[in-house]
Chains A and B, each alone.
Chain A
């Protein structure tokens, strides 16, 4: 039986960060993962992450995965793949299935970072081929390069449902509708807005009644639900789709912890059955930790910090790390975690209707129910101003912990301040050169550069564009509004793709001047 100072189960963001921190402090570390590739969900995340520099904001998820793997290799973390931990036994012994054999390992400490599994909802014909989890759709598209379907209906408007809908559009699928039984969109407004402006309709307070088809999905019927989530007869709507994507939340995969005998609780706020842990993730069994989604559903950025904390704490308890160094490192982690857990989507605000931003501006109810901010509402936000010449228009309308736009502008036109959830303010747009770095830096794709006086009678709008094929200079088409409906004629006058933009292309279109605050997407005709 082989021994290690630390055994980590799960090579996702939490597990890798835990392993790296422990190995840095001199521990022998092995990480097991049942998959053939490490990184957990990170390698499916092709979008730019939110947060601040400390949280690796504006870096795409799979790039963060690559960075972590490099760090793990550099610090001497052993990563064992295709290795399924099948049991966790007393005295920190684990059994691992690898190939056709079983192997025993013992750790001085163990960190469980097994993540979560997708929830399902049953409806008539939900077992037909073509009904898949949103995570499965991401795996097909982003890991294997396979289109999950041609025409898709998405159930679930949390960040997963919104982000995967956008990725489906990027993969060339048509998203017929985005449906959620809740009365309000659960995920970030900016994620909803970038889907809505391509023309995808949102159906809130709706659920799937049945999938149609005999041996695979050929259609779906949705219906409106009442306050008790019961379908209202007569409200049915039919869509011809070949795929139904389900994104209705995650459940922690906590079986190993449960069998270890540590104290568990069924906590709906944390996503289901989770271990009872202290602030560092240590369970009721000393030197047995849980980190990441397995100890409560959050997202990858906080999973990384929680992994770090568990790794540092494990090192300290085994004497690999002095008290003052430990305290300093953990304090830094706590501060990073706290800043991520602020704003409208903070864990404590789950399910609450927030009607005003921290600045006292009424939250757009259209955004919460239809996925876009109405023309009349957008002007209330501090990032949206009317100026002479070129200037940024920042359609960031909810307090979320994110600030890359502030650092992106070398001329300091954009200000968020030290409070990371504050709405960005366009403070002094005079020096704006139209470089477009702010547009590309916004993970929510909510920044546009507009020039209200591009030429007599016409304005220019530069928007983030992450679809293929890229429009070309001279292309003529239609300008779509925030709601995805055609508002005017548009002509492409510039397309920029610089390495600094990291694959967010900047497409500039010319529209009649009166549509400068209305048109937000381009559709070729």
Chain B
């Protein structure tokens, strides 16, 4: 799956490439498709490369869409795409709050 030498065909521009997919970080469908052709085959890679899913909603809206776009570019099922990792804080938290540890 993650064999980067695998031929996935050339990048073919699509009519809906300017469709916004990650609203928080303003990443378009075309940018995600292009990134796959540049060798980003997994959710963690796409996330670091384009920042999609790194904004306020933390991928709640776009993660599924991004996965679908990567999968279709790689001609595989979305469930086969390597998923993003998950770490705390799982909800957006201000640094001032995160650093303010209190006794329950």
Chain B residue contacts of A366, Cβ below 8 A: none
* A272 is an interface residue with CB less than 8 A from chain B: yes
CA distance A443 to B83 in the complex (A): 40
Chain B residue contacts of A85, Cβ below 8 A: 90
Instruction: Verify A100–B104 contact, CB threshold 8 A.
Output: no
Chain B residue contacts of A258, Cβ below 8 A: 83, 85-86
Instruction: Verify A86–B19 contact, CB threshold 8 A.
Output: no
Q: Which of B21, B60, B87, B97 contacts A100 (CB 8 A)?
A: B97
Instruction: Verify B64–A251 contact, CB threshold 8 A.
Output: yes
Which A-chain residue is minimally distant from B20 (CB atoms)?
A: A127
Chain A residue contacts of B63, Cβ below 8 A: 251
Instruction: Verify A272–B64 contact, CB threshold 8 A.
Output: yes
Chain A residue contacts of B94, Cβ below 8 A: 100
* B16 is an interface residue with CB less than 8 A from chain A: yes
Instruction: Verify A1–B104 contact, CB threshold 8 A.
Output: yes
Instruction: Verify A122–B29 contact, CB threshold 8 A.
Output: yes
How far does the Cβ of B70 sit from chain A's closest Cβ, in whole Å? 13
How far does the Cβ of A365 sit from chain B's closest Cβ, in whole Å? 30
Q: Which of B20, B23, B90, B100 contacts A86 (CB 8 A)?
A: B90
Instruction: Verify B20–A102 contact, CB threshold 8 A.
Output: no
How far does the Cβ of A510 sit from chain B's closest Cβ, in whole Å? 51
CA distance A268 to B20 in the complex (A): 24
Mask: chain A, 106-141; 1 = CB below 8 Å from B; 0 = not: 000000000001011011101100000000000000
* B98 is an interface residue with CB less than 8 A from chain A: yes
* A104 is an interface residue with CB less than 8 A from chain B: yes
Chain B residue contacts of A264, Cβ below 8 A: 83
State how many residues of chain B have any CB contact under 8 Å with chain A: 35
**Contacts across chains A and B counted by CB atoms under 8 Å:** 91
Instruction: Verify A86–B91 contact, CB threshold 8 A.
Output: yes
Q: Which of A97, A123, A268 contacts B79 (CB 8 A)?
A: A268
Q: Which residues of A240-262 are within 8 A (CB) of B?
A: 251, 253, 255-256, 258-259
Which A-chain residue is minimally distant from B101 (CB atoms)?
A: A102
Instruction: Verify B102–A122 contact, CB threshold 8 A.
Output: no
Instruction: Verify B104–A105 contact, CB threshold 8 A.
Output: yes
* B88 is an interface residue with CB less than 8 A from chain A: yes
Chain B residue contacts of A326, Cβ below 8 A: none
How far does the Cβ of B18 sit from chain A's closest Cβ, in whole Å? 9
Instruction: Verify A84–B91 contact, CB threshold 8 A.
Output: yes
CA distance A102 to B79 in the complex (A): 35
CA distance A258 to B60 in the complex (A): 14
Instruction: Verify A87–B88 contact, CB threshold 8 A.
Output: yes
Instruction: Verify A255–B86 contact, CB threshold 8 A.
Output: yes
* B35 is an interface residue with CB less than 8 A from chain A: no
Instruction: Verify B97–A34 contact, CB threshold 8 A.
Output: no
Instruction: Verify B23–A127 contact, CB threshold 8 A.
Output: yes
A87-B90 contact, Cβ under 8 Å, with A101-B100, A267-B79? yes
Q: Which residues of B65-104 are within 8 A (CB) of A?
A: 65, 77-80, 83, 85-91, 93-94, 96-98, 100-104
Instruction: Verify B88–A273 contact, CB threshold 8 A.
Output: no
Instruction: Verify B86–A259 contact, CB threshold 8 A.
Output: yes
Chain A residue contacts of B77, Cβ below 8 A: 268
CA distance A512 to B61 in the complex (A): 52
Instruction: Verify B91–A34 contact, CB threshold 8 A.
Output: yes
Instruction: Verify A86–B93 contact, CB threshold 8 A.
Output: yes
Q: Which of B16, B85, B86, B93 contacts A97 (CB 8 A)?
A: B93
Which B-chain residue is minimally distant from A98 (CB atoms)?
A: B102
* A350 is an interface residue with CB less than 8 A from chain B: no
Chain B residue contacts of A89, Cβ below 8 A: 88
CA distance A1 to B77 in the complex (A): 44
Instruction: Verify B23–A101 contact, CB threshold 8 A.
Output: no
Chain B residue contacts of A123, Cβ below 8 A: 19
* A229 is an interface residue with CB less than 8 A from chain B: no
Chain A residue contacts of B29, Cβ below 8 A: 122
Which B-chain residue is minimally distant from A96 (CB atoms)?
A: B104
How far does the Cβ of A133 sit from chain B's closest Cβ, in whole Å? 9
Chain A residue contacts of B79, Cβ below 8 A: 266-268
Instruction: Verify B88–A259 contact, CB threshold 8 A.
Output: yes
CA distance A100 to B90 in the complex (A): 16
Instruction: Verify B89–A95 contact, CB threshold 8 A.
Output: yes
Q: In the complex, which of the residues B20, B86, B89, B97 has the most CB atoms of chain A within 10 Å of its own CB atom?
A: B86
Complex A-B: 20 CB contacts under 8 Å: A34-B91, A84-B93, A86-B89, A86-B90, A86-B93, A87-B89, A100-B96, A102-B98, A103-B101, A104-B101, A117-B60, A122-B20, A122-B21, A123-B19, A124-B19, A126-B20, A253-B60, A264-B83, A268-B78, A272-B64
Q: A100-B94, A101-B102, A122-B65 are in contact. List 9 more A-B contacts (CB 8 A).
A: A2-B104, A87-B87, A101-B100, A103-B102, A104-B101, A122-B21, A251-B63, A251-B64, A266-B80
